[in-house]
Structure 1
Amino acid sequence: MNDVETGFLVKICGLSTPQTLTAALEAGAEMIGLNFHPKSPRYVALERARELAAIARGRTQIVALIVDWDEKEAVALAETLKPDWLQLHGRETPEQVRAIKAATGLPVMKALGIAGREDLAAIETYRGSADLILLDAKPPKDAAYPGGHGRTFDWTLLAGLDPALRFMLSGGLDPANVAEAIRIAKPAGVDVSSGVESAPGVKDAGRIRDFVVAARAAQSSNEEAGRT
């Protein structure tokens, strides 16, 4: 595994079977995500999540995705699942982010929805409370659950961000477009879910491998370009 504070990160989110989890591990993903939002097609019950975490532990960083939970709920999950990270994907305030982080003792990744330039202001608001920012596409207004819903946003919006900011990029990424996304946005990592699926919630091992390979190649190209 890379050092999450310095290395480039590839995260495969919404995993729900040992087979596809193994594909993510064998491909070398630094992070895997387990989704605890009941309205998502990628939801996993706690017992299944514990089985998957047992396979992944020590081989990758385990991220538990939660939406608008309070500290008590987050602590109970942290004690039972023992993830490496919590991913807050709801409307949590910076104060709630800090409270959950303090209560659980876990690093926290905060997802922020981006549709236009005006949405970038939230990055600085959360930068001091979250350990890592995840920039995702804003969901449709009538969406039943948060997240990018397979849609991208204009990556050129991120060109003016502080170069020192470590953020992950999500929203509509797949094996075909992740290289372009990395070239334009220059993130510290990429996060994919629906882009490596054959149907909603059904991960495809081949697409997982293709995504990781494409992301690694693109990051190597970015680093090479930065040295010349």
Structure 2
Amino acid sequence: MPAPLIKICGLSTPETLDAAIAAQADYIGLVFFPKSPRNVAIGQAAALAARAAGRTRIVGLFVDPDMALLHEVRATVPLDVIQLHGKEPPAFVQQVRAATGCEAWKALGVRKRADMEAARSYAGAADRILYDAKPPEGAALPGGTGLRIDWDLMKGWKHPLPWMLAGGLDPLNVADAVHVTGAPAVDVSSGVESAPGVKDAGRIAAFVRAVRTI
């Protein structure tokens, strides 16, 4: 099995962006969601994306955006991927992919196996499904909570799309997560932070190292 792809999400400073690139992460994520402690302004994101251009692939994370916001961001931030982390239906995901020319990823909150069934409806609309831990009802954030999926849910599951595992991963548990789930790609945010929204360069390096040595 090839080494899993790695995404470091929620970067907001040049120093931690450089740490992710130095570690050779396959993707870096920029969060466009004001309620998140990892939110970046468009100008800030443009500077980070310019710094990353040609060195890694850039993912923009949005929660139930309208097309106007996506076009506004895309006008100055050269995204490779748009990750939709809200309640976006398949038709909207397909519209985003067609209108922006970017890959479109759809995040799904998972607490039980039935939650994974929703992935089937995105076949033909999304390029990748990202399975994240489902937050508690009424939670302000749809992801980046540090909650973990029960990895055993993934055993024997026939995935309808390319997929990525998120939810509570960190340098100490990511190897086990990949062994249990067979994840072809992994995504980390809070698991490489010293405080909410504050990425740690050492933890980023340790996470990537843990995945690359599986």
**TM-score where L is the length of structure 1:** 0.90
Q: Is the 8 A contact 2:144 2:189 kept in 1?
A: no
Q: Identify the residue that residue 75 of structure 1 maps to in structure 2.
A: 71
1:47 alignment partner AA: G
SS of 1:160 mapped into structure 2:
coil
Residues 181/24 of structure 1: CA separation in 2 closer, same or farther (3 Å cut): same
Q: Identify the residue that residue 142 of structure 2 maps to in structure 1.
A: 146
Equivalent of 2:111 in 115, 118, 141: 115
1:160 alignment partner AA: G
Equivalent of 1:30 in 11, 26, 33: 26
Q: Is the 8 A contact 1:138 1:148 kept in 2?
A: no
Q: Is the 8 A contact 1:14 1:193 kept in 2?
A: yes
**TM-score where L is the length of structure 2:** 0.96
Q: Identify the residue that residue 58 of structure 2 maps to in structure 1.
A: 62
Total equivalences in the alignment: 213
Q: How does 1:31-50 map to 2 (within 5 A)?
A: 31-50=27-46
Within 2, Cα distance between the matches of 1:165 and 1:41?
Answer: 30
CA RMSD of aligned residues (A): 1.4
Q: Is the 8 A contact 1:70 1:100 kept in 2?
A: no
Q: Is the 8 A contact 2:146 2:191 kept in 1?
A: yes
1:76 alignment partner AA: E
Q: Is the 8 A contact 1:169 1:189 kept in 2?
A: yes
SS of 1:21 mapped into structure 2:
helix
Q: Identify the residue that residue 11 of structure 1 maps to in structure 2.
A: 7
Between 159-168 and 28-37, the greater mean CA deviation after superposition: 159-168
The Cα of 1:51 is off from its aligned counterpart by 0.8
1:105 alignment partner AA: G
Q: Is the 8 A contact 2:171 2:210 kept in 1?
A: yes
Q: Is the 8 A contact 1:24 1:32 kept in 2?
A: yes
Give ranges in structure 2 of 5+ residues lacking alignment: none
SS of 1:10 mapped into structure 2:
strand
1:195 alignment partner AA: G
Give ranges in structure 1 of 5+ residues lacking alignment: 1-5, 219-228
Q: How does 1:209-220 map to 2 (within 5 A)?
A: 209-218=205-214
Q: Does 1 or 2 have the higher relative contact order (CA < 8 Å, sep 6+)? A: 2
1:192 alignment partner AA: V
Within 2, Cα distance between the matches of 1:70 and 1:163?
Answer: 28
